[in-house]
Structure 1
Amino acid sequence: MATILKFILAIFFLFLVAILWIAYTFYKQIKHTANRFQQRERPQYQAGTDGDTVIDNRPQAQRKKQIIGDDEGEYVDFTESETQSGQKE
């Protein structure tokens, strides 16, 4: 009788270990998939004017940072000339 109880106990522990192992591999697979699709630091793609693709690997905070300060001008003042091209004065 004692050997039958030991056999049943051994099978119970093997079954418990198998269930725990299956649960662990399931958890590990879900964790791996979640990390793969996490969008924390994805690169930003922008098409350039000549058709090339630019990949910006900077952090999100630096991507949104203003490049040219408010005290710096972006435009150049110019005056139109009265002379036509090809003629020298």
Structure 2
Amino acid sequence: LDGKQQAVVDVLGVALDDRGQFSSFKQKLEIPREAALAKGGRFVKWSQSLPLPPGLYQVRVAVRDRQSGRTGSAIGWIEIPRVGSPKK
């Protein structure tokens, strides 16, 4: 953090379905110094809401520290279940 009171990172993400359709998000996170330095400065817990219909998705997320330019990324799979289906 080089004496700064907070770290500022850009977070970009996309969820791709099996047809190649996607939903995306972009967010700027301002992380207080105490949170950024906790656990050796390696982990920050964060959550993002993205409305998606039921299905299987590949989720890709990338982050970039605005001060240092350092980047990181992750890819994972999630399945959104169909809920509340009418019984026959």
* TM-score exceeds 0.5: no
- Choose between structure 1 and 2: higher helix proportion: 1
Going by fraction, where is strand more abundant, 1 or 2? 2
TM-score, length-scaled by structure 2: 0.23
User: Considering only CA atoms, is the larger Rg found in Structure 1 or Structure 2?
Assistant: 1
Q: Which has the higher contact order (CA 8 A, sep 6+)?
A: 2
* TM-score calculated relative to the size of structure 1: 0.23
